[in-house]
Amino acid sequence: MIYHIYDKTKLTDIPANDAENQWIDFNELLGGGDITRDDIIVKELINSDDFLRTILRRFNPEKRFLSHCFYFERPATAPDNMSNFIVTDAALNQFPDLPTRVKITKNALDFCAQTNVLDTNRPIVTFLNHSGHFNIKNPTACASHLLVTECARLFGNAADFSDFQMDCCFSQSARDIKKITQNRNSDIIVANDINEGNSIVKSFLLNGWMGYGFLCGLDMRIVMNSRSNLYANGGAIKKVKNIK
């Protein structure tokens, strides 16, 4: 079953329930619905705070660490060198410290392994570093350098790790000019904070990319898009159904 969670004070014109889709006001979700791990939860027109508060109270009694992965599919109009990629975290962890960003990275790697949404079995994970190199005067550059080292130690069998600017994530010519040896685009981009992540996500959405947000860390399959990027087709559902 696909459970569409909404706020009835914001959304009144909803489709009829059927054998596959059930629409539930978030206030009713706390006490109702026989939702299991085989079901899918989709955030519709509802404030993220209300949605998350309800999800945490109902489905996260163990207080597992949660994060948000925004998965982008390459549109036909994109340059040939562009491919599917993920931005994390753009919606949940606001100003994560270094240990939290390691957890965010681990959730993203687990999500990719479970869904196989990327075009590679060994993703390249890039921590955004606006200096492009280690710079002891730049806290962001120091943090990115430390994250590359720590994540390579912890997860080196699952991914490759790098840190540089946004243009080098997607442009081979930019990498060549800056003498970066990475020979393909980044698959997972780890933002420094929620403002940076959200800006990246919205900029791609405004430029015609189709994106789907997923809540990661639970044994539930949860689609969590922006209110301005509501579930309008089956794309997100098709992706999240592949989660093991």
Strands 210-216 and 221-223: antiparallel
pLDDT of residue 235: 53
pLDDT of 238 strictly over 80: no
The Cα–Cα gap between 135 and 129 comes to 10
% of the chain beyond a pLDDT of 70: 91
Looking at residue 19, its amino acid is A
For residue 31, pLDDT over 50 is answered with yes
Average pLDDT for residues 194-223, to the nearest whole number? 89
Q: Mean pLDDT throughout 42-58?
A: 87
Per residue in 127-154, pLDDT (tens digit) is: 998 877 777 877 888 999 999 999 999 9
* Stretch 67-73: mean pLDDT: 92
Token pair of 198, please? 């959200």
| Cα–Cα distance for residue pair 221/118, rounded to 1 Å | 18
Q: Give the model's pLDDT for residue 237.
A: 62
Place of tokens 């949404």: 117
Report for 26-40, 64-78, 184-198: range of highest mean pLDDT: 184-198
- Residues 17-29: what's their mean pLDDT? 88
Q: pLDDT grade, residue 48 (50/70/90)?
A: confident
d(CA 15, CA 24): 11
Of 32 and 6, more confident: 6
pLDDT confidence band for 32 (50 / 70 / 90): low
Pairing of strands 21-25, 40-43: unpaired
Instruction: Give the per-residue pLDDT at 231.
Output: 45
Go through 47-59 and write b for each residue having 16 or more CB atoms within 10 A of its CB, e for each that does not. Answer: ebeebbebbeebb
User: Which one has a higher pLDDT value, 143 or 74?
Assistant: 143
* Whether the predicted pLDDT of 233 surpasses 70: no
Burial readout 137-171 (b: 16 or more C-beta within 10 A, e: otherwise): ebebbbbbbbbbebbeeebeebbbbbbbbbebbbb
pLDDT at 119: 78
Instruction: Reply yes or no on whether the pLDDT at 229 is more than 70.
Output: no
* Domains of the chain and any CATH numbers: 68-212 (3.40.718.10)
The overall average pLDDT reported for the chain is 86
- Cα–Cα distance for residue pair 214/221, rounded to 1 Å: 8
Residue 25 has pLDDT above 50, yes or no: yes
* Model confidence at 171: pLDDT above 60: yes
Q: Is the pTM of this model over 0.85?
A: yes
Burial class (CB in 10 A: 0-12, 13-18, 19+), 219: exposed
**Residue 191's pLDDT is what?**
95
Beta strand 21-25 pairing with 85-88: unpaired
Predicted confidence at residue 241, as pLDDT, reads: 63
